Each structure stands twice: as structure tokens, then as C-alpha cells.
Amino acid sequence: MIAELPALPLHTAGKYVAGAYIVLFALVLIYVAIMGIRLSRMERDLGELLELAAPSPDGEGHAREPGAGAHERDAAASSPEGEPESTLA
């Protein structure tokens, strides 16, 4: 049969208490990290949608192929001229 142990000294109990509170902190932190990943994914999707919604050079509405902006972005990123513009700017 298990009985309750006498109170642990502070230096021993401290690590258990710290452990318990770190668990709570870690749970919240993991959740925030997951939300951050989701948010960045959504931001990327919105950027692509903005590119789709942008008028094409020939003056027609949203006639651009889905993903065309991504190719342009890649090309801009690899070109020595400079940075691609932010899709959310």
C-alpha cells in the first residue's frame, strides 16, 4: 500500500512544481506554434489569391493561371535584380 510521503524539501519539490508548470507552458506554446504555422500558410494562400485577383498585363480580369505568380516569384527570387514584392503589400 502506498502512503503519502513526508513533505519534500524545497530544493526537491521545486523541480516537480517547475515540471508541472512547464507542462502547461509547453502546451500553450505548442498550440501557439501550431497557430503560427497555420497563419503563415493562410498568409501564403492569401498572397496567391491576391495574385490571382490582380489584373493581368493584357487588361483582362483574373485570367492568370493559378500558380503563375509562384513561378514569377521564383524567377524574381533567383534573379540578381532584386527581391520579389510582398504579396500582401
Partner 1 sequence: MHGKALRTLSISTVVAMATALALVFFYAPLEAEQGFLQKIFYVHVPLAIVALCGFVLGGLLAIQHLRTRDPRWDYRSYVVIHMSLIFAVGTLITGSIWAKGSWGHWWVWSEPTLVSFLIVFLLYATYQPLRFAIEDPERQSRYASVFAITAGAFVPMNFIAVRLSTAYLHPRVLGSTSNLPAPMALTFLVSLVAMALLFATMCKFELAAKHTRAQVRALRRRLAGEADARRGARSAAPSLQHVTAMAARVQRGAPPTSHTPGSR
DSSP type of residue 76: H
The greatest distance separating any two alpha carbons of the chain, rounded to the nearest whole angstrom, comes to 83
Helices (H), the chain: 10-53, 68-78
Near partner 1 by CB under 8 A: residue from 33, 40, 66, 79: 66
Q: Which stretch binds partner 1 (CB under 8 A): 1-9, 72-80, 81-89?
A: 1-9
> Could you tell me the CA-to-CA distances from 56 to 33, 49, 52 in Å, in that order?
36, 13, 9
By CB under 8 A, tell whether 71 contacts partner 1. no
By CB under 8 A, tell whether 10 contacts partner 1. yes
Query: Interface residues with partner 1 (CB under 8 A)?
Result: 2-5, 7-10, 12-14, 16-17, 19-21, 23-24, 27-28, 31, 35, 38-39, 42, 45-46, 48-49, 52-53, 62, 66
